[in-house]
Amino acid sequence: MKLYNTLSRTKEDFVPIKANKVGMYSCGPTVYNYAHIGNLRTYIFMDLIRRAFEYEGYKVKSVMNITDVGHLLSDADDGEDKMAKASREQKKTPYEIAAYYTEVFFRDLEKLNIARPNLTPKATEHIPEMIAFVEGLLEKGYAYEIEDGIYFDIAKFPEYGKLSRADVEEQIAGARVEVNTGKRHPADFAVWKHAPKEHIMQWQSPWGMGYPGWHIECSAMSKKYLGETFDIHSGGVDHIPIHHENEIAQSQALTGKIPANYWMHGEFMLVNGGKMSKKLGNTYTVAQLEEMGYSPMVFRYFCLNAHYRKKLNFTFEGLDGAKVSYERLLAAVYQHKVGAAQADEGRLAEFKAQFAAAIDDDLNLPLALGILWTLVKEPKSKAVYSLIMEMDSVFGLSLDKAEAPEAEAEEYPEEVKALAEERYQARKAKNFALADELRGKIAALGYEVKDTAAGWELSKK
Ligand code: AMP
Ligand code: ZN
């Protein structure tokens, strides 16, 4: 299996740390709001990694954090904590906010056939691990304390920037003028913040009351559940320059090892070619798409049409196209479910090999979908159906739900049709009293009659 590793900027052969096993950490949601379809594209991408490994026979242990504290409004360690802000605005405790949005998040995952990670640890339940991590960094001289908190000293970690390959000095020169916070270097980042009295979430620590930095959460929890070095770390591309850079710096500073061997990043979803943002009113939730008549599987199908390292432009025309294709695919799959043709085993083996090659080439799902479409054109057979089901263990498109096309227009009892016709004649003769009486008789039999240009139309009540 070849995977694109952001760290080396190349596709590398995947070599597991332990034979046939994969340890995988994915950066999860900050549970202060509903996930939008862009966020969900990223979680679908993470799900595809896991499914691909499982298809290849690996046993996957996947961990995804639930951030319920410490994620500030800006990545530059300032602004309010996102949880605290939501709590203030919605007049609920941060724990109520977190419980509610975590539940919605899990429901979204389920709707989208995203397997729930084996472990979904919450930041607030791992404060001691984070404190221990910060103590370790202080002991080793990688962190220092100033007025508002404890900061990682990037000058002590010369490799800082190796993931994003950003020239840190250049980045800083281009950035806005920093307020003098007392940091030794503008790119130094908070691992622990001192909490002012009014700060709603705070914990006792060796440095007084405070709360953790966002980045330390992932380092502490991945270390706890997957060890000092694990196989895969995934996230959205926006995590490359700060969040993952910082995770690498603090973990490697503490343990001497880079925390993950392969760093995988999913590209962003755009809307109408531009940024997705609440301000522009172009963020949608799964529930909103459902209200508009698009099933979660249609959205998942839409996402699978683009490689995870390519930007994906969301438009309703595109989604409509996905809907038509997905429905056609289901209809075609059903034909195989009930098909009786003899399958050509040699050809099926070829399809299977092509499919595996597509998946193994850095998760080329669009190519794999193309192979599926060619496969469904084969003579209709149960052998093809079971191969489709095997492939769907990676796609996760619920193709086993393919059902018989809906029955043809319903037949109505002669008696009811005769009453409807009689009523039509009565209306034409302007005998409305009789027409109403006949409507009543039709209703009593369990049907409803409507007037149409052609005369009448029946439906079951
Ligand atoms: P956030 O709630 O901003 O922490 O984002 C949650 C996840 O969604 C992160 O993994 C981000 O990388 C990802 N994400 C945010 N915006 C988008 C987008 N427009 N397209 C794809 N992924 C996104
Ligand atoms: Zn993270």
Is residue 101 pLDDT above 80, yes or no? Answer: yes
The pTM (predicted TM-score) of the whole model is: 0.87
Query: What residue owns the CA closest to ligand 1's atom 8?
Result: 39
d(CA 242, CA 188): 11
Query: What residue owns the CA closest to ligand 1's atom 23?
Result: 39
CA distances to 313, 403, 461 from 438, rounded to whole Å, are: 55, 38, 16
What is the position in ligand 1's atom list of the atom closest to the CA of 275?
19
In tens, the pLDDT along 218-257 reads: 999 999 999 999 999 999 999 998 999 999 999 999 999 9
DSSP result, 236-273: EGGGIIIIIHHHHHHHHHHHSS-SEEEEEEEPPEEETT
Report the sign of the C-alpha dihedral through residues 307, 237, 292, 96, in that order: positive
Split at pLDDT 50, 70, 90, the class of 153 is very high
Q: Average the pLDDT over 97-116 and give the result.
A: 96
Task: Give the mean pLDDT of the chain.
Answer: 92
CB atoms within 10 A of CB 95: 15
Split at pLDDT 50, 70, 90, the class of 178 is low
Mutate to test the pocket of ligand 1, among 42, 64, 85, 217 (most ligand atoms within 8 A of CB): 42
The set of residues, in sequence order, having a beta carbon less than 8 Å from that of 330 and lying 6+ positions away, is 399, 401, 402, 403
Is residue 317 pLDDT above 90, yes or no? Answer: yes
Is residue 290 pLDDT above 80, yes or no? Answer: yes
CB atoms within 10 A of CB 453: 5
CB atoms within 10 A of CB 306: 17
- Coil/strand/helix, residue 208: coil
Is residue 332 pLDDT above 90, yes or no? Answer: yes
Is residue 212 within 8 A of residue 133, CB to CB? The reply is no
Q: How many whole angstroms from 217 Cα to the centroid of ligand 2?
A: 7
d(CA 294, CA 307): 22
- Coil/strand/helix, residue 30: strand
What is the position in ligand 1's atom list of the atom closest to the CA of 39?
8
Split at pLDDT 50, 70, 90, the class of 451 is confident
Q: Average the pLDDT over 99-109 and give the result.
A: 96
CB atoms within 10 A of CB 451: 12
Split at pLDDT 50, 70, 90, the class of 323 is very high
Any idea how long the chain is?
461
Query: What residue owns the CA closest to ligand 1's atom 18?
Result: 38
Is residue 168 pLDDT above 80, yes or no? Answer: no
Query: What residue owns the CA closest to ligand 1's atom 10?
Result: 236
pLDDT of the residue at 81: 84
Split at pLDDT 50, 70, 90, the class of 193 is very high
Split at pLDDT 50, 70, 90, the class of 176 is low
Mutate to test the pocket of ligand 1, among 238, 269, 278 (most ligand atoms within 8 A of CB): 238
Is 139 buried (19+), middle (13-18) or exposed (0-12) by CB count in 10 A?
A: exposed
The residues facing 24 across adjacent strands are 62, 232
Element housing 24 (H / E): strand 21-26
pLDDT of the residue at 199: 87
Q: How many whole angstroms from 372 Cα to the centroid of ligand 1?
A: 29
Q: How many whole angstroms from 412 Cα to the centroid of ligand 1?
A: 52
The pocket around ligand 1, CB under 6 angstroms, is made up of 27, 29-30, 38-39, 41-42, 235-236, 238-239, 268-269, 276
The percent of residues above 70 in pLDDT, for the chain, comes to 95
Q: How many whole angstroms from 13 Cα to the centroid of ligand 2?
A: 24
pLDDT of the residue at 280: 83
Q: How many whole angstroms from 280 Cα to the centroid of ligand 1?
A: 16
The percent of residues above 90 in pLDDT, for the chain, comes to 77
Enter the tokens of residue 62: 């996947």
What is the position in ligand 1's atom list of the atom closest to the CA of 270?
19
Nearest CA to 447 among 433, 437, 457, 432?
457
Is residue 403 within 8 A of residue 334, CB to CB? The reply is yes
Of residues 121 and 91, the one with the higher pLDDT is: 121
CATH code, 294-401: 1.10.730.10
d(CA 447, CA 456): 12
Q: Average the pLDDT over 289-309 and give the result.
A: 97
Which ligand places an atom closest to the C-alpha of 29?
A: 1
Q: How many whole angstroms from 157 Cα to the centroid of ligand 1?
A: 28
The residues facing 269 across adjacent strands are 312
Mutate to test the pocket of ligand 1, among 39, 40, 97, 285 (most ligand atoms within 8 A of CB): 39
Q: Which residue shows structure tokens 């969900």?
A: 40
Split at pLDDT 50, 70, 90, the class of 175 is low
Q: How many whole angstroms from 38 Cα to the centroid of ligand 1?
A: 6
CATH superfamily, with its number, for domain 15-266? HUPs (3.40.50.620)
What is the position in ligand 1's atom list of the atom closest to the CA of 312?
20
What is the position in ligand 1's atom list of the atom closest to the CA of 236?
12
Enter the tokens of residue 334: 């059903």
pLDDT of the residue at 166: 77
Is residue 71 pLDDT above 90, yes or no? Answer: no
pLDDT of the residue at 172: 62
Q: How many whole angstroms from 268 Cα to the centroid of ligand 1?
A: 7
Query: What residue owns the CA closest to ligand 1's atom 9?
Result: 236
pLDDT of the residue at 73: 78
15-266 and 294-401, same CATH topology: no
Neighbours of ion ligand 2 (CB under 5 A): 27, 218
In tens, the pLDDT along 28-69 reads: 999 999 999 999 999 999 999 999 999 999 999 999 999 998
Q: How many whole angstroms from 312 Cα to the centroid of ligand 1?
A: 13
Q: How many whole angstroms from 271 Cα to the centroid of ligand 1?
A: 14
Q: Report phi then psi at 107, rounded to 5.
A: -65, -40
Q: Within 13 Å and on the Cβ side, how many CA atoms surround 236? A: 14
Query: What residue owns the CA closest to ligand 1's atom 13?
Result: 39
Is residue 393 pLDDT above 60, yes or no? Answer: yes
Q: Average the pLDDT over 330-348 and give the result.
A: 95
Q: How many whole angstroms from 30 Cα to the centroid of ligand 1?
A: 10
pLDDT of the residue at 354: 98
d(CA 375, CA 386): 12
In tens, the pLDDT along 396-442 reads: 999 999 887 765 556 788 899 999 999 999 998 999 999 999 999 99
Hey, where are the domains in the chain? 15-266, 294-401, 414-460
pLDDT of the residue at 432: 92
